[in-house]
């Protein structure tokens, strides 16, 4: 089994470089400063290019793109052309991604609630999904992936799952094909995700930390099968503390013993897996984990972030 590790959005190693610079809706509404918005967008593209070059030079093959590359893109009263105007940046960054075989994805934020009971929230969620799809398309990413939580639990889990299925079926097929569902830490378990896989065929991104907080019975083989011909991806983080208060918060770093135990539990799966490290210290935490793996295990490292177990 080959494992590749990745991290999300921000590099702790590259100082003063972020592809997530924002322009708040409140500030924009007061200032209506399109020049400032344009400068922020360009800054985000340039920062993303730097981060990707850093990833390539350090053999980091798996990376989550920031959803904030284009601030305010889904706000109806912010009239912004965010594709054609910036196509040269999409082309340059997409070339970096594709020529170096990087795997990238998006994880839309908590405002994307496809199964909300509020029709306006559902419509806004669809706009958020379309925005993310448009970015992936502009980057010329072939394996377009959007990681989603199931969302609202209004009126109970059964009705909430039904709403997700019904609203999913209303999405354009090209959006449906991008969605991967993830178990959460409070309500929807891996079993619930497997139910959605059975009903609408969505793949399942297993989150170890969320399952630690919100356990269920399942077989890892079923998660692997949900991806069909795509490479499996999973998320791993460690709790800030194992107390009730902090158990859901991410730690700065990864508990390497827990990670090794997890790998040992899945090593008989006949597949390669990409694992996103969701620690607060981002790539710094990922490389600390790798150093500990090299000390504590006999895993064969192919490069800086890829190893065989």
Ordered structural domains, the chain, with CATH: 2-308 (3.20.20.150)
Say what the pLDDT of residue 77 is.
85
Residue 211 has pLDDT above 80, yes or no: yes
How confident is the model over 219-236, as a mean pLDDT?
96
Residue 247 has pLDDT above 90, yes or no: no
First to last CA, the chain: 6
Listed residue (308, 240, 309, 302) closest to 60, CA to CA: 302
Q: CA-to-CA distance for 106 and 8, rounded, in angstroms?
A: 9
Residue 286 has pLDDT above 70, yes or no: yes
What DSSP string runs through 151-163? ---TT-HHHHHHH
Q: CA-to-CA distance for 244 and 194, rounded, in angstroms?
A: 27
**Residue 202 near residue 180, CB atoms below 8 Å:** yes
**Residue 161 near residue 149, CB atoms below 8 Å:** no
Name residues whose C-beta falls within 8 Å of residue 181's C-beta, 6 or more positions apart in sequence.
Answer: 147, 148, 149, 150, 193, 196, 197, 202, 203, 204, 205
Say what the pLDDT of residue 205 is.
98
**Residue 254 near residue 289, CB atoms below 8 Å:** yes
Averaged pLDDT of the chain: 96
For the purposes of burial, counting CB atoms within 10 Å of the CB of 123, is it exposed (0-12), middle (13-18) or buried (19 or more)? exposed
For residues 105 and 15, the model is more confident at 105
Residue 147 has pLDDT above 90, yes or no: yes
Q: CA-to-CA distance for 303 and 211, rounded, in angstroms?
A: 29
**Residue 159 near residue 152, CB atoms below 8 Å:** no
For residues 37 and 248, the model is more confident at 37
Say what the pLDDT of residue 95 is.
98
Say what the pLDDT of residue 153 is.
95
Number of CB atoms found within 10 A of residue 124's CB:
18
Say what the pLDDT of residue 244 is.
67
Listed residue (203, 157, 206) closest to 177, CA to CA: 203
Residue 124 has pLDDT above 70, yes or no: yes
Say what the pLDDT of residue 79 is.
82
Question: CA angle at residue 112 from 110 to 118, to 5 degrees?
Answer: 110
The model's pLDDT over 12-56, given as tens digits with 9 standing for 90+, comes to 999 889 999 999 999 999 998 999 999 999 999 999 999 999 999
């Amino acid at each position: 089994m080959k494992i590749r590790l990745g991290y999300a959005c921000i590099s702790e190693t590259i100082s003063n470089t972020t592809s997530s610079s924002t322009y708040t809706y409140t500030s924009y509404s007061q200032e209506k400063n399109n020049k400032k918005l344009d400068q922020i967008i360009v800054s985000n593209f340039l920062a993303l290019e730097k981060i990707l070059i850093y990833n390539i030079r350090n053999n980091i093959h798996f990376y989550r793109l920031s959803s904030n590359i284009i601030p305010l893109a889904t706000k109806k009263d912010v009239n912004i052309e965010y594709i054609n105007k910036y196509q040269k940046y999409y082309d340059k960054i997409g070339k970096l991604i594709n020529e170096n075989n990087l795997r990238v994805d998006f994880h839309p934020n908590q405002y994307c609630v496809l199964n909300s009971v509020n029709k306006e929230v559902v419509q806004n969620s669809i706009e958020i999904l379309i925005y993310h799809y448009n970015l992936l398309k502009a980057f010329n990413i072939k394996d377009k992936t959007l990681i989603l939580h199931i969302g609202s639990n209004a009126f109970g889990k059964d009705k909430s799952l039904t709403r997700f299925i019904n609203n999913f079926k209303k999405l354009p097929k090209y959006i449906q094909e991008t969605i991967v569902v993830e178990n959460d830490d409070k309500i929807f378990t891996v079993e619930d995700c497997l139910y959605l896989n059975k009903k609408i065929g969505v793949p399942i991104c297993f989150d170890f930390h969320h399952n630690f907080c919100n356990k269920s019975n399942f077989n890892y083989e079923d998660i692997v099968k949900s991806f069909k011909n795509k490479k499996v991806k999973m998320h791993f983080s460690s709790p800030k503390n194992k107390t009730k208060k902090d158990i859901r918060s991410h730690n700065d770093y990864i508990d390497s013993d827990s990670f090794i135990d997890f790998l040992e539990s899945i090593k008989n799966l006949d597949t390669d897996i990409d694992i996103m490290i969701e620690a607060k210290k981002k790539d710094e935490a990922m490389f600390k984990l790798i150093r500990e793996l090299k000390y504590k295990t006999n895993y064969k490292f192919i490069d800086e972030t890829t190893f065989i177990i």
